Amino acid sequence: MRQEHAAGDKVFVDYSGKKIPIVDRKSGEIREAEIFVAVLGASSYTFAEATWTQTLPDWIGSHVRMFGFSRAFPDS
């Protein structure tokens, strides 16, 4: 069902639930990365990035980088 959102009204954020393997080229070690996803409500403009954890510092850092990248700030 399509939902209408006013420009600047909302941003939807969450981790994708799926992890991706990241391989260290030197050691061959494989680490799992979380995928942070944010979508602006009106435009469906999407931002995604990998973080090592879902802890508060990674969560806040992802928000800061998302707002800096999109230069859009929702009202709510």
Span 26-66, pLDDT tens digits: 999 999 999 999 998 878 889 999 999 999 999 999 999 99
Q: Which pLDDT value is given to residue 66?
A: 92
The reported pTM is 0.81
Supply 63's token pair: 């928000």
Strand order in the sheet with 30-40: 11-23, 30-40, 46-51
Q: 62 by DSSP, 3-state: which?
A: helix
Q: Which pLDDT value is given to residue 72?
A: 62
Supply 15's token pair: 């981790």
First CA to last CA distance, the chain? 22
Identity (one letter) of the amino acid at 65? Answer: R
Q: Which pLDDT value is given to residue 51?
A: 98
Reply yes or no on whether the pLDDT at 76 is more than 60.
no
